[in-house]
Structures are given as structure tokens and as C-alpha cells.
């Protein structure tokens, strides 16, 4: 059976989830409730967005999440599907 290649959208979603997971470890956030509190949003909102891979999350909320969770430049490029060439991180 051939191995299926991830679509560009799936790759971006995976990059976002990976960046969030890295931030959780680095910041010592042990649960989704802790992450939601750190981001200043309701736990139920965070859980619903996470369940849908943050597909319908407003852009300004994604930017805020990136700033607060300290996403690296390379992670931001991967999340938005841009080439990381020339990015200093």
C-alpha cells in the first residue's frame, strides 16, 4: 500500500500542533486548561479550536498565540507555509 503524502494544509496544521507542544514543555504547561489560562481564553474555546486543528481560529488569535507561546521564526514559517530561507532563529 503506498504511503500517502500529507497535503500542504495538513503539514501546516501539524507544524502548529508541534509548535504548541514544544511551548507547553518549555513553559511547563501541563494541560490544555493551563495552556488556555496562559493564553487568556476559555478552556472550552481552546479545546474546541484544538479539536479542529485551529482551522477556524481568527488570524489575530493565532498571532497572539504565537507571541505568547514564543513560537520560533522557523515554526512560524512552517505554520504559514513559507520558506524558512534567510530566517534567523
pLDDT tens digits along 1-35: 677 888 889 999 999 999 999 999 999 999 999 99
In a domain, residue 18? The reply is no
- Rounded CA separation 56/67 (Å): 19
Provide the domain limits for residue 67.
Answer: 27-80
In a domain, residue 63? The reply is yes
Could you read off the pLDDT of 27-73 as tens digits, one per residue? 999 999 999 999 999 999 999 999 999 999 999 999 999 999 999 99
pTM: 0.85
Number of domains in the chain: 1
Long-range contacts of 47-54 (CB under 8 A, 24+ apart): 53/13, 53/16, 53/17, 54/13, 54/16
Q: Which residues contact 61 (CB under 8 A, 6 or more apart)?
A: 41
The predicted structure's pLDDT at residue 46:
95
In a domain, residue 8? The reply is no
14, 6 Cβ separation under 8 angstroms: yes
In a domain, residue 64? The reply is yes
In a domain, residue 88? The reply is no
The predicted structure's pLDDT at residue 89:
57
Amino acid at each position: 500500500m503506498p504511503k500517502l503524502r500529507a497535503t500542504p494544509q495538513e503539514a501546516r496544521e501539524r507544524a502548529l500542533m508541534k509548535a504548541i507542544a514544544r511551548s507547553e514543555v518549555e513553559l511547563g504547561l501541563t494541560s490544555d486548561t493551563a495552556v488556555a489560562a496562559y493564553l487568556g481564553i476559555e478552556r472550552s474555546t481552546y479545546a474546541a479550536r484544538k479539536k479542529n486543528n485551529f482551522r477556524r481560529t481568527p488570524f489575530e488569535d493565532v498571532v497572539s498565540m504565537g507571541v505568547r507561546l514564543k513560537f520560533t521564526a522557523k515554526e512560524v514559517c512552517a505554520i504559514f507555509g513559507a520558506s524558512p530561507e534567510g530566517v534567523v532563529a
